[in-house]
Amino acid sequence: EPEVTQTPSHQVTQMGQEVILRCVPISNHLYFYWYRQILGQKVEFLVSFYNNEISEKSEIFDDQFSVERPDGSNFTLKIRSTKLEDSAMYFCASSVSGTKDTQYFGPGTRLTVL
């Protein structure tokens, strides 16, 4: 069964460093999403992406964040200068069509900022 994959599973970085989290959505899906879950808190929406541009973003998704689909399979989230409070589990999701369709989630990348 097709699934969303994410790499790495765990990323440790120093405060101020740039990180890139990678996702491979399900192949026939057209809409892509990033969510994050700070330890002990709820899963929060960051951004949605369609047709090579951002569809929607939350107030969390500030200028430190960017997303890109560099090729036909990968979908990345970049954090330019990480802060301690960026430590969280980051989930990628994809769906066939727009937000009315079911979103399928990857296993997540745990980001630890020291």
Interface residue list for another protein (CB under 8 A) = 4, 6, 33, 35, 41-45, 48, 55-56, 58, 91, 93, 99-100, 102-108
**Nearest alpha carbon to residue 21 among 114, 109, 113:** 109
Least distance from C-beta 101 to another protein, angstroms?
9
In the complex with another protein, the residue whose CB is nearer, 57 or 69, is 57
In the complex with another protein, the residue whose CB is nearer, 10 or 16, is 10
Long-range contacts of 42-48 (CB under 8 A, 24+ apart): 43/91, 46/77, 47/77, 48/99
Report the b/e string of 89-98 with b at 16+ CB within 10 A: bbbbbbbeee
In the complex with another protein, the residue whose CB is nearer, 44 or 81, is 44
Least distance from C-beta 88 to another protein, angstroms?
14
